[in-house]
Amino acid sequence: MPTKIEKDIVTGRDTTGHEWDGLKELNTPLPKWWLYVLYGTVVWAAVLFVLYPSIPGVNGYFRGVLGYSQRTAVNDAVRAVMAQRADTMDRIKDLSFAEIRKDPQLMAAAATAGRIAFANNCQPCHGAGGGGRPGYPALAAGAWIWGGSLDDIQQTITYGIRSGDEKAREGQMPRFGADGILKPQEVQQVADYVMTLFGDTEPGKDVSAGQKIFAENCAICHGEAGQGDREKGAPRLASRVHLYGNDRAMVVAQVTSPRMGVMPAWHTRLDEATIKSLALYVHSLGGGE
């Protein structure tokens, strides 16, 4: 409350009457229309309070005369976008991969849909951009176990690997060590040989014993030269990239008691157009064949 309004000698104006540690403020009055603009905004705020959800209560909140809800608005927007996309996604579903790739617009839509679906569903295991990690294949590297063509990838995503689905990709590796098919010493010998397939050859080391064991036990699936067999899901061993690691201990462990990973069948969760988009995306990561 103003207590002491004085007249300022220099300007001839009143002071506001407030004083802070000897400092006084000149009263330079604002034009009233500024004040009315403020009142206008207050009225506007009151109108908004009535129109839109505003006041919280014990059992919910005042919903506003317009009945606006952000949740409904988002759902409507999502539905509208889905309806807008329906045509494109239908075409992705119906056309072949070759036809989709010929249409830049459709390809762009599929790439975007695939990228987003990948981030939501695949990334937790396969890593962002398909970088992979031990036990989860690096999709960008092209070290395919079951094949890297668009159709192969679509098949793998749709039905999975050892997923329990009846069309799933199935492949079993015997527990050579654990079930006594190979003696511990033989496991070590075959591991020595497999390491030469990796490219890590110790000069002068004799691996002929391992080579013989390999030819008798492993070559039937992994191939004479360790080139692998995609029909059986037997990984290529003559490679620098391996699912569970690149060292000798991994080879020994795998021959003794193999780990065989599982990938779920995605057709129960994703529609066909999304899976095809995913296949196109995964194919484009760098490893596509």
Partner 1 sequence: MSRISKAERQLQLQREAAGDHLYANRVRVYPKSVHGPVRRFKWAVLIVCLGIYYLLPWLRWPRGVNQPDQAVLLSLWTERFYFFNLKFWPQDIYYLTGLLIVGAVGLFLVTSVVGRVWCGYTCPQTVWTDLFMWIERRIEGDRNERMKRDAEKVSFDLIWRKLAKHAAWLAIAFWTGGAWIMYFVDAPTVTVEFWTGAASKEVYFFTFLFTATTYLLAGWAREQVCTYMCPWPRFQSAMLDEQSITVTYQGWRGEPRMRGRRHDGAPAGDCVDCGACVTACPTGIDIRDGIQLECINCGLCIDACNHVMERTGRPKWLITWDTLADQAAKAAGRQTTLHLLRPRTLIYASALVLVLAAMTVALAMRSSVGLSVLHDRAPLFVRLPDGDLRNGYTVKIVNKGPNIALFELHTAGLDGAVLAEMDEGLGPAARLGLPVKGDSVGTFRVTVAGAPAHLVDGSQNIDFVLRNTETGEQTVYQSLFMGPR
Binding region for partner 1 (CB under 8 A)? 2-5, 14, 16, 27, 29-35, 101, 107, 111, 127-132, 138, 140-143, 199, 236, 239-241, 283-288
Are 278 and 110 in contact by the 8 Å Cβ rule? The answer is no
- Provide the minimum distance between the beta carbon of 131 and partner 1 in the complex, in angstroms, as a whole number: 3
Name the helix (H) or strand (E) containing 24. Answer: strand 23-26
Is the Cβ of residue 128 or residue 181 nearer to partner 1 in the bound state?
A: 128
Closest CA to 186 of 118, 241, 255: 255
Characterize the bridge pairing of strands 60-61 and 15-20. Answer: unpaired
- Which CB, 32 or 71, lies closer to partner 1? 32
Complex with partner 1: residue 126 or 169, whichever CB lies closer: 126
Residue 256 host element (H or E): helix 248-256
- Residue 37 beta carbon to partner 1: minimum distance, rounded to whole angstroms: 11
Smallest distance from the beta carbon of 35 to partner 1, in angstroms?
A: 5
Handedness of CA 248, 251, 257, 262 (dihedral sign): positive
Handedness of CA 229, 93, 114, 78 (dihedral sign): negative
Smallest gap from residue 255 Cβ to partner 1 (A): 20
| C-beta neighbour count of 65 within 10 angstroms | 11
Question: Taking phi first (over 0 means left), then psi (-120 to 50 degrees means alpha), and beta for anything else, what does residue 284 get?
Answer: alpha
Q: How far apart are CA 146 and CA 140, in angstroms?
A: 14
Q: How far is the CB of 111 from partner 1 (least distance, A)?
A: 7
Q: Least distance in Å: CB of 195 to partner 1?
A: 14
Pairwise CA distance, residues 114 & 105, whole Å: 14
DSSP per-residue letters across 132-144: -BTTB--TTTT--
Nearer to partner 1, 233 or 288 (CB): 288
Instruction: State the minimum distance, in angstroms, from the CB of residue 32 to partner 1.
Output: 5
Cα(145)–Cα(152) distance, integer angstroms: 10
Compare residues 210 and 288 and give the one whose CB is closer to partner 1: 288
Tokens at 214, concatenated: 């390999």
Residue type, 230: R
CB closer to partner 1, 150 vs 275: 150
Instruction: Compare residues 164 and 286 and give the one whose CB is closer to partner 1.
Output: 286
